[in-house]
Structure 1
Amino acid sequence: MKPVRIIGMAWFRREDWPRGSGHHGGRRRPPFVARIERLEEEKANIANDIGEVYSEAKSSGFDVKILRKLIAMRKKSKQALAEEDEFLSVYRAAVGL
């Protein structure tokens, strides 16, 4: 079976794929493709910046693993945190911690 590719909402066989670099079926690539590519590049740059901040924190003596956990916890609601703590307590008791 030949690979298929989704373009828009339709399925096309490989031989039906649009040809040509930067073109979409003989047309210029849609503007949203360029926007997505630009945003992906920005996302990579931001991820790099975040990594540098964690490196700075580590060199200042902070435990990066704990910082990441704290950042993840701050994203959760108080209710979600309380529920998670409750489940952890139950599981700890079940395994004897």
Structure 2
Amino acid sequence: MGDVIQTPDAVVEASAAAAEQSSVSSAEEKKDGKPGDKNPFLDPAPIPVFEGPRGIRFDFNQGARVILPARESGQWHAVLRDLEGSKNPLVLRSSV
């Protein structure tokens, strides 16, 4: 279990390295006046990260992503709703 917890020195070193890399990319951006090509956000996982019932996978990276497993018979019926806002369906898709 000691391997999982980082020592304060390791955290400081990692933070310093990240800050140095960030300042270098900012300096490059200022030099040529163009933002770097690097995306400031992490790329989402190749498949949605949350697993629901019956093998359904979903997440909300770059919008709502849902993967429905193949069915032996019948079809999926998926409805995504904004339960905190208007409660209207955001996506209604049959024959999935």
The answer, yes or no, to whether TM exceeds 0.5 is: no
Q: Normalising by structure 2, what TM-score?
A: 0.35
- Calculate the TM-score normalised by the size of structure 1: 0.35
- The structure showing larger relative contact order (alpha-carbon pairs under 8 Å, at least 6 residues apart) is 2
Higher helix content, 1 or 2: 1
